[in-house]
Structure 1
């Protein structure tokens, strides 16, 4: 906040503090203009600024009271007031009752906007402090639930291996056991989870306006299918997965005497991604869950970003943190999703075991989660090989599949890339890599930080790429020396960069190779620095 033109009023100061506290916290600099110029802060208490008095003023003028840290520093000889503001787990307002939050404005710059009541519930849900789906909806009665949906719920429990003890209960007892209704006596009010799963269509539309699912098939700019559903969740899942199966082609390959179907997309992976979108969406935000089928990919998106603690860099290893715990628990108990809560593993395995790129979450923002499942032809040789390994009793972990899938595309992998790919510790990754080496599936090359891994010769043969092994494995030192000497005989001289390209090695390794030949007196060194080159002795 700059004070070049006018001093920052107490009202604006408290507003800025509340704005940051209702976001992720942050550092407020008074005396720095929006363009980054340091103009200095004006004294707030006579001829100076007392950090303790300012801290007390902020504490007394925020509800609930905020504890901030204040420091006055000098930059370019000008005083700057630094206020470190913590993130608040509860909505904070100024003493006058003003609620604001930080947001990106239409200009692309951050600013403060009104913080509405429904947004407060969404934020508490993001932080795991509030479960909207566990709240009873007092405007809805027990009679507003659909008996047909209860029967559909029972069929799901039977079909997907849910909690069979639920089948012995009558409708009310089952709803009570699942947390879909509150109250033992009249009036009995369904929770939001109960309405989403069992509510009649008109009740859903009237009481949960944010609930909507779109299934779209797009070819180029043409929309071939554009279906929108505002039905109970289980019925939506059945409708969408029915349309998915109708379009999901399979290619058959022979595996010995058996036929194996290789689909365009893994049904388990796509279903888990879709169910995740339904479970984790923010039901306070308007907008549909989208299941979009393009010619080369499927995109599934939902309103509401990742919850607190989940990021792109820990997606595979963080403990399950559902935005809507009650709804997530119901889906687990009736058997629709993984009971361990690790459905994300199913989504990723559905891609990599068919030799396709891993799911892409890079388009996820603060306001929505998007996963892209890339399609295209499966690597049939890779699919067959994975199944053969499993039949031989050599079950490959998800981390191993990640690494092998990467080696298909990139030929080589090092420790740092494997850590990035699997999101595991370096120790875990080394263990996985060394196990694959022991199995004879991959081979290691190089030492210490320069150590890389590539597919073994027998795996390349299985994939029908015998020459690929030679290109990837590289050449032995003696072969490299002969290649360099033959090159110099034909071209008269050789430089470090040319050596690296010729032998498929790094520039550093090329320098060592040339120095070695020079010390053996097989080459003469000419020039200096970047102009150094090597020739044959006279």
Structure 2
């Protein structure tokens, strides 16, 4: 097992520094806050805001030298690589302008004050230990025989969030094989686990964990799948009466967007392009898994003390994945409610309206309204006898699935080529003064 001290001491070959629109980056030992034009024109001192329940919005005694300019460059690079998902205006900002734009730096008494969110997003490891002591993440492969972490991968990190998200996503990609399917001229890879689902659940764990509670975010490969756990229960709407917190089969599709535990961190991840701006990450994780013919994420082990999301190990239903690909290629993609209803009905049984209402976390009238829409679009049909109405996949859907099966048999799905993993994201930072021993 290697901890963040050993990992941080290795060279970073993935983040070349370059001149930016506002000038060349400063040396690694400096920070662009001090004496910058933005700081000079930021105005007078601001009033002390009321105490915030968001730990990331609280003042710290961090010095400006506690922030690493490379992490600001990382954010710029992430925004540039998202294909328009991120906030493109960040690329033209100085480091100080980025921090102020994200709301993690304020001016008081003529000097810059850093909030805890600034340290968590851009801080050096030693600063993270001082100012956000509960921040920690681990990635592990759990041995099926003992249930303990094995020697293959058992690493702990105290890195800033953006670097941490990149590292964990890179390791996920290296362990996630794909099979390629094709609908006419459209090709796509069907992975063992959806990358979008993993990214959304990982971002949820890092952003929405309770940083006032001791414990680490864990990413674990087990015999059951990939388990992502984080300290603290569901934030905001995660109450015992919430559809998701009560562990129904799907997230509350008709409920309002959840309230993030830290709006500052949630906004930073959205502007970096890591997550979507709608605040519906778990919904997108469900849709991504189901659209690829995979099992939906399982959150049934979540409690008031921690959120546990599992991407189950289950062979992909390539027939359904090809059917969904064909719908998308024809301009009629399946939305999350469609995916939930069809995958459940095809896997288990005909569905009653009340069962669909439970899946959606809504009342029967709303469920019936959506089912009627699926009926009009040729996705579902009505069956049953003796006055009992049930909903079944339509003859059109069943025919399309038979055609997809025949196509797969005629041209077996091939492993999709994946680029080899690039150099690991290792940066020459200060050694971690307290190596973390492997648990157990």
TM-score band w.r.t. shorter chain: 0.7 to 0.9
| Of 162, 173, 177, the match for 1:245 | 173
Q: In the alignment, what sits opposite 1:65?
A: none
Greater relative contact order (Cα < 8 A, sep 6+): 2
| Of 47, 57, 61, the match for 1:134 | 57
Q: In the alignment, what sits opposite 1:169?
A: 93
Matched, 1:325 2:263: yes
Rounded Cα–Cα distance in structure 1 between residues aligned with 2:259 and 2:402: 43
Matched, 1:452 2:372: no
Q: In the alignment, what sits opposite 2:332?
A: 394
Gaps of 5+ in 2: 1-50, 245-250, 405-440
Structure 1 or 2, whichever has the larger Rg, is 1
* Deviation of the 1:403 alpha carbon: 0.1
| Of 371, 374, 393, the match for 1:436 | 374
8 A contact 1:153–1:234 mirrored in 2: yes
Output aligned runs, 1:283-362, within 5 Å.
283-311=211-239, 313-314=243-244, 315-316=251-252, 317-362=255-300
Q: In the alignment, what sits opposite 2:121?
A: 197
Deviations 1:113-147 (A, max 9, x none): xxxxxxxxxxxxxxx96111111112x11121111
* Deviation of the 1:448 alpha carbon: 9.4
Matched, 1:263 2:191: yes
Q: In the alignment, what sits opposite 1:148?
A: 70
Rounded Cα–Cα distance in structure 2 between residues aligned with 1:410 and 1:462: 19
Q: Secondary structure of 2:381's match?
A: strand
Please give the TM-score of this superposition, normalised by the length of structure 2.
0.72
8 A contact 2:199–2:274 mirrored in 1: no
* Deviation of the 1:266 alpha carbon: 0.8
8 A contact 2:193–2:294 mirrored in 1: no
Q: In the alignment, what sits opposite 2:42?
A: none
- Distance of aligned partners of 1:453 and 1:129 in 2 relative to their CA distance in 1, 3 Å threshold: farther
Rounded Cα–Cα distance in structure 2 between residues aligned with 1:305 and 1:408: 33
8 A contact 2:295–2:314 mirrored in 1: no
Output aligned runs, 1:206-225, within 5 Å.
206-220=130-144, 221=146, 223=150, 224-225=152-153
* Deviation of the 1:263 alpha carbon: 0.5
8 A contact 2:236–2:260 mirrored in 1: no
Deviations 1:151-210 (A, max 9, x none): 111112222232222332221122112112122665423111100011011111222110
Gaps of 5+ in 1: 1-127, 467-538
Rounded Cα–Cα distance in structure 2 between residues aligned with 1:298 and 1:347: 13
C-alpha RMSD of matched pairs (Å): 2.3
Q: Secondary structure of 1:338's match?
A: coil
| Of 85, 97, 103, the match for 1:179 | 103
Higher helix share: 1
8 A contact 1:381–1:462 mirrored in 2: no
Q: Secondary structure of 1:183's match?
A: strand
Q: Secondary structure of 1:237's match?
A: helix
Rounded Cα–Cα distance in structure 2 between residues aligned with 1:272 and 1:150: 22
Q: Secondary structure of 1:260's match?
A: strand
- Distance of aligned partners of 1:298 and 1:448 in 2 relative to their CA distance in 1, 3 Å threshold: farther
Rounded Cα–Cα distance in structure 1 between residues aligned with 2:311 and 2:207: 19
* Deviation of the 1:458 alpha carbon: 4.0
Q: Secondary structure of 1:450's match?
A: coil
Aligned length: 338
8 A contact 1:443–1:453 mirrored in 2: yes
